[in-house]
């Protein structure tokens, strides 16, 4: 190994890491230590969002809790800034930082299902698809998100919601325990009875408190098929249909989830070719229960307007979970802006419709999810994630390939974000926050932020875990005042 490399220090200075330092770390691992020029380095630093092109000084690819412990202890002892990568899907790209250490968990993808107990244990590098596939072998599912290539770790630590959240709660509501490597290198288990303060903070507080080496979830009987699919309408009908969508969501049983997407129609095989590339309103629906009851629950939705196509029907649960993957493949440039709404007011609907008429790229879309049901029957202070009212989450999902479109696409997202401010709830889902949303931490955590800062001070007083949407230790906050 070469003599030394310079890396970012926690104190703002540059730290020299010698070849001997790297050799000692590598000797302590089952995994690998990579630097620029090594085979696998560029693959490791490449994440889902194509806008992120950063070069860490050191990549530590770990294979288990002992490797994580060795890597965290090394970073702390050397005073290094450290980013943590699991699935690499976070929109902000905070899994990697120029000149810092990357702790790469992506090789830890084991998923174990205990069908007798109805539980699932997943390592932090596992994707949602990994969890779904292994769980469905036993007719079980954990409530997770809607893109199967997303990492289970980032999704869970931010909250996690998807097609069966209304029935079974958020991902964090189904978290039973987590094995965590702390900043001081200790490995502990957090649950309702073991380190309950840390367990509370992990459920929505992001990667601020340690590195989770294993998650244990409660799973639920579902599948192997669910009643699900898309109903696609002409965009010209959207102004009349969006208020109906809101009414249906407010009245839906817990088993039924209906979301809407406004965009240019992709070349779906079941969509007439003359509609490809034209603006449309898409209703995506899933019923987590008996098929016959699902048919009845979706009757009013399917009776709305005159759709171009209606492909609601029985689908394998794992297939439905991956249905949007082709629109979310890695490598494209992505920028998001997000808002929560308790109600979709006329002003918001007008702004959304106006933005669809001015899409800067065919891949751009406005996604409006509705969550409620079981997740709304949890107290706002029961977990770090605080927004427990039944609500709509709008994600202005800007996606494109040509770097020359960066300014136009980002401006389009910000313009719609600003235009919908009047109706917005004072909250935001942390997993939808881009890197420049630095002033929205209070919205993400509301009245739970002070408690999170206190817990941070107990478990990570030096703020080792800071390359994230960072919750600073309470004492640091006080010292700055």
Each residue of 42-69: pLDDT tens digit? 999 999 999 999 999 999 999 999 999 9
According to the model, what pLDDT value does residue 480 have? Answer: 44
- Is 470 part of any domain? no
According to the model, what pLDDT value does residue 2 have? Answer: 54
Rounded to an integer, the average pLDDT of 294-309 is 98
CA distance 117 to 132: 17
Of 221, 242, 265, the one marking the end of a domain is: 221
**Same domain for 242 and 216:** no
For residue 478, pLDDT over 70 is answered with: no
**Same domain for 400 and 319:** yes
Report the chain's mean pLDDT, rounded to a whole number.
97
The rounded radius of gyration (Å) of the Cα atoms in the chain is 22
β-bridge mates for residue 34, sequence order: 59
According to the model, what pLDDT value does residue 481 have? Answer: 41
Question: Where are the alpha helices (H) located in 182-266, listed in sequence order?
Answer: 196-202, 238-251
**Same domain for 175 and 42:** no
**Same domain for 61 and 130:** no
β-bridge mates for residue 283, sequence order: 231, 260
For residue 116, pLDDT over 60 is answered with: yes
- Is 467 part of any domain? no
- Is 266 part of any domain? yes
Q: Say which residue the tokens 């049983």 belong to.
A: 253
**Same domain for 402 and 303:** yes
For residue 74, pLDDT over 70 is answered with: yes
Domain count, the chain: 3
**Same domain for 76 and 127:** no
- Measured CA to CA in angstroms, residue 476 lies from 198, 304, 463, 479 at distances of 19, 54, 9, 5
Q: What is the CATH number of the domain that holds 62?
A: 3.30.43.10
pLDDT digits (tens, 9 = 90+) for 385-443: 999 999 999 999 999 999 999 999 999 999 999 999 999 999 999 999 999 999 999 99
Query: Beta 58-61 vs 101-104: how paired, if at all?
Result: parallel
Of 186, 221, 256, the one marking the end of a domain is: 221
User: Which contiguous run of DSSP H or E holds residue 365?
Assistant: strand 365-371
**Same domain for 399 and 274:** yes
3-class secondary-structure state, position 341 = strand
- Is 267 part of any domain? yes
CB atoms within 10 A of CB 91: 22
**Residue 412 is encoded by which pair of tokens?**
């389009």
For residue 324, pLDDT over 70 is answered with: yes
Rounded to an integer, the average pLDDT of 259-283 is 97
According to the model, what pLDDT value does residue 1 have? Answer: 45
- Is 306 part of any domain? yes
3-state helix, strand, coil in the chain (%, to 5): 35, 25, 40
**Same domain for 259 and 363:** yes
- Is 169 part of any domain? yes
**Same domain for 304 and 286:** yes
Rounded to an integer, the average pLDDT of 76-101 is 97
Q: What is the CATH number of the domain that holds 364?
A: 3.40.462.20
- Residues above pLDDT 70, as percent of the chain: 98
Question: DSSP class of residue 265?
Answer: P
- Contact in structure between 262 and 282 (CB atoms under 8 Å): yes
- Is 399 part of any domain? yes
According to the model, what pLDDT value does residue 3 have? Answer: 83
CA distance 65 to 218: 22
Of 104, 132, 153, the one marking the end of a domain is: 104
Burial state string for 191-228 with b = 16 or more CB within 10 A and e = fewer than 16: eeeebeebbbbbbbbbbbbbbbbbbbbbbbebbeebbb
Burial state string for 50-73 with b = 16 or more CB within 10 A and e = fewer than 16: bbbebbbbbbbbbbbbbbbbbbbb
CA distance 99 to 87: 20
Task: Among 243-252, 390-399, 472-481, name the one with the lowest average pLDDT.
Answer: 472-481
CA distance 191 to 136: 25
The closest of 307, 285, 419 to 352, measured between CA atoms, is 419
**Same domain for 311 and 162:** no
Question: Where are the alpha helices (H) located in 191-329, listed in sequence order?
Answer: 196-202, 238-251, 291-297, 299-303, 317-321
**Same domain for 178 and 127:** yes
Phi and psi of 253, rounded to 5°?
A: -70, 165
Rounded to an integer, the average pLDDT of 1-14 is 89
- Is 452 part of any domain? no
**Same domain for 329 and 358:** yes
Q: What is the CATH number of the domain that holds 179?
A: 3.30.465.10
Burial of 362 (0-12, 13-18, 19+ CB in 10 A): middle
Structural domain span for residue 138? 111-221
For residue 276, pLDDT over 80 is answered with: yes
Burial state string for 289-299 with b = 16 or more CB within 10 A and e = fewer than 16: beeeebeebbe
């Amino acid at each position: 190994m070469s003599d030394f490399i310079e890396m970012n220090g926690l104190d703002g200075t540059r730290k020299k890491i010698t070849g001997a330092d790297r050799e000692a770390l590598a000797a302590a691992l089952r995994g690998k230590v990579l630097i620029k020029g090594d085979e696998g380095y560029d693959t490791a630093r490449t994440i889902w969002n194509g806008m992120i092109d950063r070069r860490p000084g050191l990549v530590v690819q770990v294979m288990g809790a002992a490797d994580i412990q060795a890597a965290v202890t090394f970073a702390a002892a050397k005073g290094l800034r450290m980013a943590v990568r699991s699935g690499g899907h976070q929109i902000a790209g905070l899994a990697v930082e120029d000149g810092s250490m990357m702790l790469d968990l992506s090789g830890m993808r084991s998923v174990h299902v205990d069908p007798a107990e109805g539980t699932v244990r997943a390592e932090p590098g596992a994707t949602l698809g990994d969890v779904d596939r292994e769980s469905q072998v036993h007719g079980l599912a954990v409530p997770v998100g809607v893109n199967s290539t997303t990492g289970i770790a980032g999704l869970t630590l931010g909250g996690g919601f998807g097609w069966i959240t209304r029935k079974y709660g958020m991902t964090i509501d189904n978290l039973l325990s987590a094995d965590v490597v702390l900043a001081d290198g200790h490995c502990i288990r957090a649950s309702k009875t073991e380190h309950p303060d840390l367990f509370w903070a992990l459920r929505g507080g992001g990667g601020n408190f340690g590195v989770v080496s294993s998650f244990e979830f409660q799973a639920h009987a579902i599948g192997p098929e669910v009643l699900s699919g898309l109903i696609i309408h002409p965009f010209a009908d959207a102004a009349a249909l969006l208020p109906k969508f809101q009414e249906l969501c407010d009245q839906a049983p817990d088993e039924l989830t209906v979301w809407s997407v406004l965009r240019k129609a992709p070349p779906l095989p079941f969509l007439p070719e003359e509609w490809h590339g034209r603006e449309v309103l898409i209703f995506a629906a899933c019923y987590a229960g008996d098929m016959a009851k699902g048919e009845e629950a979706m009757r009013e939705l399917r009776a709305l307007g005159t759709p171009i196509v209606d492909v609601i029907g029985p689908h394998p649960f794992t297939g439905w979970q991956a249905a949007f993957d082709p629109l979310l493949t890695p490598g494209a440039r992505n920028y998001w802006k997000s808002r929560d709404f308790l109600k979709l007011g006329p002003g918001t609907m007008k702004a959304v419709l106006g933005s669809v008429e001015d899409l800067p790229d065919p891949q751009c879309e406005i996604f409006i999810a509705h969550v409620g049901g079981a997740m709304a029957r949890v107290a706002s202070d029961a977990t770090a994630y605080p927004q427990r009212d039944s609500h709509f989450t709008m994600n202005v999902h800007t996606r494109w390939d040509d770097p020359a479109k960066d300014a136009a696409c980002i401006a389009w997202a910000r313009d719609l974000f600003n235009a919908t401010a009047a109706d917005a709830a004072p909250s935001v889902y942390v997993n939808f926050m881009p890197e420049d949303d630095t002033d929205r931490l209070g919205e993400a955590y509301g009245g739970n932020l002070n408690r999170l800062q206190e817990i941070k001070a107990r478990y990570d007083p030096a703020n080792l875990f800071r390359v994230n949407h960072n919750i600073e230790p309470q004492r640091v906050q006080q010292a700055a005042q």
